């Protein structure tokens, strides 16, 4: 409530200085649905220079987005000048221009339920029938659905995000517009797709949202339809890491662009999921890799995860590293009476394997006896 009051005070301060201003977007929608929200945006006919003069701005991207971040009464707010989009580049990036009235600003927004505004007196301005769609629990795009998704293909994911968060349905013509523009998803970066999927997976109705994504065919172009089907049919709560790792495991053919450290995790987990959770593999891989590999198997096999048992098994292994062996390189050289060479590491690996597979105990005498009986030494 204090944050809302602070936002109202910004609106009143702008009005006092001769400008129009409104709280707008998701906060208004969520408040009407009794959903707690701390993300309050403000729109105004004040220009970025006016905002810089009136408030303490902490970040200004005025030249590109006509937007300023403002610290006010201890809270951070984003204030955006009334604008409209005159064209879109690459089915994603708008070219904007300043407009003088709220109506044009609201009608450029994506969905009707996101185009509600609240004035300083608490009156709701609804120029796109957002209140009716909230009542009917519908996600409806503003304007011509075919044009709006062609302009910005990311709106497909944002519409499904609203399904996941609110348990709404997608209005029929809106859904048809999504289907028609699904092919443009390849214009989006993998990072942006990951961000949007992560938002969808965050909420309770993510399976419903993912089902819509499948039906739009947008996932066909990312070659992860089968992956998402595994996720929908599973009782395990997914993350974006799971989706990428499963994609690698079943070899969808789409190579996601990810950071090198993450790529190693995904490929190791996929390999481990295929090879199985033997003592040797549990010894070889760290817990993050083991847990992710187990989740891959849980989704693909439609079973519960087995984290606790796998971690327990790993921690109970007779050794956790080569240093734990009761013999070292010097012991081997002395016992076999052979000069240093690659044979040392090869033999230590053989000893590791034998200990981990419980063929011998990690005791010096037993290890030396194992070496003695080994025909390769």
User: Candidates 1.20.1090.10, 3.10.129.10, 1.10.110.30, 1.10.940.10; correct CATH number of 137-222?
Assistant: 1.10.110.30
Q: State percent of the chain over pLDDT 90.
A: 75
> CB pairs under 8 A, 24+ apart, for 256-261?
256/190, 256/194, 257/189, 257/190, 257/191, 258/190
Helices 240-249, 225-233: axis angle to 10 degrees equals: 120
Alpha helix positions (H), 182-328: 190-201, 206-216, 225-233, 240-249, 260-275, 279-284, 287-301, 307-315
Domains of the chain by residue range = 1-136, 137-222, 235-317, 322-373
Residue 205 has pLDDT above 80, yes or no: yes
Average pLDDT, the chain: 92
Mind listing the pLDDT tens digit for each residue in 325-370?
Answer: 999 988 888 888 888 889 999 999 999 999 999 999 999 999 999 9
The CATH superfamily label for domain 1-136 reads Beta Polymerase, domain 2 (3.30.460.10)
Residue 94 has pLDDT above 80, yes or no: no
Question: How confident is the model at residue 215, as a pLDDT?
Answer: 97
CA distances from 18 to 21, 40, 45, 57 (A): 10, 22, 10, 19
CATH topology of domain 322-373: Serum Albumin; Chain A, Domain 1 (1.10.246)
Q: State percent of the chain over pLDDT 70.
A: 97
The sign of the torsion formed by the CA atoms of 25, 30, 32, 36 equals: negative
Least reliable range by pLDDT among 23-37, 80-94, 173-187, 222-236: 80-94
Residue 106 has pLDDT above 70, yes or no: yes
Least reliable range by pLDDT among 187-201, 255-269, 351-365: 255-269
Question: How confident is the model at residue 86, as a pLDDT?
Answer: 79
**CA 35/CA 324 separation, integer angstroms:** 54
Q: What is the pTM of this model?
A: 0.87
Q: What are the b/e assignments for 118-150, b being 16+ CB within 10 Å?
A: bbbeeeebbbbbbeebbeeebbbbbeebbebbb
Question: How confident is the model at residue 376, as a pLDDT?
Answer: 59
Question: How confident is the model at residue 210, as a pLDDT?
Answer: 97
CA distances from 256 to 136, 157, 206, 335 (A): 38, 17, 22, 51
Question: How confident is the model at residue 377, as a pLDDT?
Answer: 54
Tokens of 154: 């990311």
**CA 169/CA 299 separation, integer angstroms:** 26
Q: For residue 277, how many other CB atoms are within 10 A of its CB?
A: 19
Mind listing the pLDDT tens digit for each residue in 124-165?
Answer: 999 999 999 999 999 999 999 999 999 999 999 999 999 999
Residue 62 has pLDDT above 70, yes or no: no
Residue 18 has pLDDT above 80, yes or no: yes
The residue-averaged pLDDT of 250-265 equals: 84
Q: Are 245 and 274 in contact (CB under 8 A)?
A: no
**CA 318/CA 313 separation, integer angstroms:** 10
User: End-to-end CA distance of the chain, in Å?
Assistant: 76
């Amino acid at each position: 409530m204090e944050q809302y009051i602070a936002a109202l005070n910004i609106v009143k301060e702008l009005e006092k200085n001769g400008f129009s201003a409104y709280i707008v977007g998701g906060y208004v929608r969520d408040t009407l649905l009794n959903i707690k929200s701390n993300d309050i945006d403000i729109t105004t006919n004040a220009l970025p220079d006016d905002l810089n003069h009136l408030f303490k701005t902490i970040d200004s991207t005025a030249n590109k987005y006509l937007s300023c971040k403002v610290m006010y009464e201890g809270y951070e707010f984003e204030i955006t000048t009334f604008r409209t989009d005159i064209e879109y580049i690459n089915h994603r990036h708008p070219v904007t221009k300043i407009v003088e009235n709220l109506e044009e600003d609201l009608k450029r927004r994506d969905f009707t339920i996101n185009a509600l505004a609240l004035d300083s007196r608490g009156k709701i301005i609804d120029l796109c029938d957002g209140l009716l769609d909230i009542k009917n629990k519908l996600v409806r795009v503003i304007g011509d659905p075919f044009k709006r998704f062609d302009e910005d293909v990311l709106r497909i994911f944002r519409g499904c995000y609203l399904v996941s968060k609110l348990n709404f349905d997608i209005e029929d013509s809106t859904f048809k517009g999504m289907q028609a523009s699904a092919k443009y998803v390849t214009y989006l970066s993998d990072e942006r797709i990951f961000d949007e999927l992560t938002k969808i997976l965050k909420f309770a109705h993510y399976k419903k949202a993912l089902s819509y994504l499948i039906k739009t065919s947008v996932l066909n172009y990312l070659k992860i339809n089968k992956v998402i089907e595994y996720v929908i049919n599973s009782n395990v709560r997914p993350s974006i890491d799971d989706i990428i790792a499963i994609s690698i495991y079943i070899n969808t053919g789409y190579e996601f662009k990810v950071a090198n450290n993450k790529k190693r995790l995904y490929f190791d987990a996929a390999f481990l999921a295929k090879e199985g959770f033997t003592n040797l593999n549990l010894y070889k891989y760290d817990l993050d890799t083991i847990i992710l590999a187990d989740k891959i198997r849980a989704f693909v096999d439609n079973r519960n995860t087995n984290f606790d048992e796998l971690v327990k098994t790993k921690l109970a292994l007779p050794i956790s590293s080569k240093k734990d062996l009761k013999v070292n390189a010097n012991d081997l050289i002395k016992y076999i009476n052979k000069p240093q060479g690659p044979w040392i590491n090869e033999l230590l690996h053989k000893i590791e394997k034998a200990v981990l597979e419980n063929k011998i105990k990690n005791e010096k005498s037993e290890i030396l006896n194992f070496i003695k009986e080994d025909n390769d030494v």
